[in-house]
Structure 1
Amino acid sequence: MLKSAYKPPGEPGLWHDFLAQLERTLAHVNAHPATVEYLTHPRRTVALTVPVQLDDGTVSFFSGYRVVHNIALGPARGGVRYHPRVSLGQSVGLAAIATIQSAVFRLPYGGAAGGVSVNPRKLSIGEVERLTRRYAAELVDVIGPDKDILGPDLGTGEREMAWMMDTFSTNRGFTEPGVVTGKPPQLGGVSKRGEAVGRGVLYAVEAFTRFQEQDLAGSTVAVQGYGKVGRAVARLFSEAGAKVIAVSDEWGAVYNPDGLDYKALLAHFKETGRVEGFSGAHTIGRDALVGLDADFLILAALEGLINEGNVDQVRARVIVESAVGAVTADADAQLRRRGVPVVPDVIAGGGGLTMDYLEWVQNFSMFNWSEDRVWSAMQRRVAQTLEEVCTYAEAHAIDLRLASYAIAVDQINFSTHMRGVYP
Structure 2
Amino acid sequence: MSLPAYRPPEDPGLWEAFLERLERTLRVAPLHPTTVEYLTHPKRLVTVSLPVVMDDGKVRVFQGFRVVHDIARGPAKGGVRLHPSVTLGQTAGLAAWMTLKAAVYDLPFGGAAGGVAVDPGLLSPRELERLVRRYTAELVNLIGPDMDILGPDLGTDERVMAWIMDTYSMTLGSTVPGVVTGKPHALGGTEGLDDAAGLGVALILKEFARRWGFPLEGARVAVQGFGQVGGAFALHAQRMGLKVVAVSTSRGAMYQEEGLPVEEVLAHYEATGVLPRHDLDPEELLALPVDYLVLAALEGALDGERAKRVQAQAVLEAANFGLTPEGEAYLLGKGVRVVPDLLTGGGGLLASYLEWVQDLNMFFWSEEEVRHSFAKSVAKAVAEVCERAEALSTDLRAGAMVLALERVNEATRLRGVYP
Aligned to 2:415: 419
Aligned to 2:394: 398
Deviations 1:163-204 (CA, angstroms, capped at 9, x unpaired): 101111111111111111111111111124431100010111
Counterpart mapping for 1:14-33 below 5 A: 14-33=14-33
Change (3 A) 1:192 1:64: farther
Contact 1:226 1:248 in 2 (8 A): yes
Contact 1:162 1:187 in 2 (8 A): yes
Contact 1:79 1:153 in 2 (8 A): yes
Deviations 1:214-241 (CA, angstroms, capped at 9, x unpaired): 3422211000011111111111101110
Deviations 1:236-273 (CA, angstroms, capped at 9, x unpaired): 10111001110001100011222111123234434543
- Give the counterpart of 2:379 among 369, 380, 383: 383
Shift of 1:338: 2.2
- Give the counterpart of 2:304 among 305, 308, 317: 308
Contact 1:211 1:387 in 2 (8 A): no
Shift of 1:276: 5.2
Aligned to 1:235: 235
Code of the aligned partner of 1:398: T
Counterpart mapping for 1:287-298 below 5 A: 287-298=283-294
Runs of 4+ that moved beyond 6 A: none
Deviations 1:72-94 (CA, angstroms, capped at 9, x unpaired): 10000000000000000000000
Matched, 1:320 2:300: no
Code of the aligned partner of 1:183: K
Aligned to 2:361: 365
Shift of 1:331: 1.7
Aligned to 1:78: 78
Contact 1:253 1:276 in 2 (8 A): no
Aligned to 2:214: 214
For 1:356 and 1:124, locate their aligned partners in 2 and report how far apart those are by CA, in whole Å.
28
How many residues get paired?
419
Deviations 1:112-134 (CA, angstroms, capped at 9, x unpaired): 00100000000011011000000
Matched, 1:97 2:97: yes
For 1:11 and 1:176, locate their aligned partners in 2 and report how far apart those are by CA, in whole Å.
35
Matched, 1:153 2:130: no
For 1:273 and 1:66, locate their aligned partners in 2 and report how far apart those are by CA, in whole Å.
29
Aligned to 1:333: 329
Code of the aligned partner of 1:385: A
For 2:70 and 2:411, locate their aligned partners in 1 and report how far apart those are by CA, in whole Å.
11
Partner SS, residue 218 of structure 1:
coil
Partner SS, residue 260 of structure 2:
coil
Matched, 1:199 2:195: no
Aligned to 2:62: 62
Aligned to 1:53: 53
Change (3 A) 1:61 1:22: same
For 1:404 and 1:211, locate their aligned partners in 2 and report how far apart those are by CA, in whole Å.
17
Shift of 1:21: 1.2
Contact 2:3 2:40 in 1 (8 A): no
Code of the aligned partner of 1:178: G
Aligned to 1:353: 349
Deviations 1:134-166 (CA, angstroms, capped at 9, x unpaired): 000000111111110000000001111111011
Aligned to 1:163: 163
For 1:333 and 1:5, locate their aligned partners in 2 and report how far apart those are by CA, in whole Å.
25
Change (3 A) 1:353 1:271: closer
Aligned to 1:36: 36
Contact 1:70 1:110 in 2 (8 A): yes
Contact 1:194 1:228 in 2 (8 A): no
Contact 2:165 2:177 in 1 (8 A): yes
- Structure 1: runs of 5+ lacking an equivalent: none
For 1:342 and 1:11, locate their aligned partners in 2 and report how far apart those are by CA, in whole Å.
28
Matched, 1:176 2:170: no
Change (3 A) 1:32 1:333: same
For 1:170 and 1:2, locate their aligned partners in 2 and report how far apart those are by CA, in whole Å.
47
Shift of 1:409: 0.5
For 1:204 and 1:383, locate their aligned partners in 2 and report how far apart those are by CA, in whole Å.
7
For 2:267 and 2:131, locate their aligned partners in 1 and report how far apart those are by CA, in whole Å.
32
Partner SS, residue 286 of structure 2:
helix
Shift of 1:370: 0.7
TM-score norm. by structure 2 comes to: 0.97
What's the Cα RMSD here? 1.3
Contact 2:224 2:297 in 1 (8 A): yes
For 1:208 and 1:188, locate their aligned partners in 2 and report how far apart those are by CA, in whole Å.
33
| Percent identity of equivalent pairs | 51
Code of the aligned partner of 2:310: V
Shift of 1:298: 0.5
Code of the aligned partner of 1:47: T
- Give the counterpart of 1:285 among 281, 284, 301: 281
Partner SS, residue 297 of structure 1:
strand
For 2:94 and 2:281, locate their aligned partners in 1 and report how far apart those are by CA, in whole Å.
29
For 2:296 and 2:338, locate their aligned partners in 1 and report how far apart those are by CA, in whole Å.
14
- Structure 2: runs of 5+ lacking an equivalent: none
Shift of 1:13: 2.5
Code of the aligned partner of 2:128: V
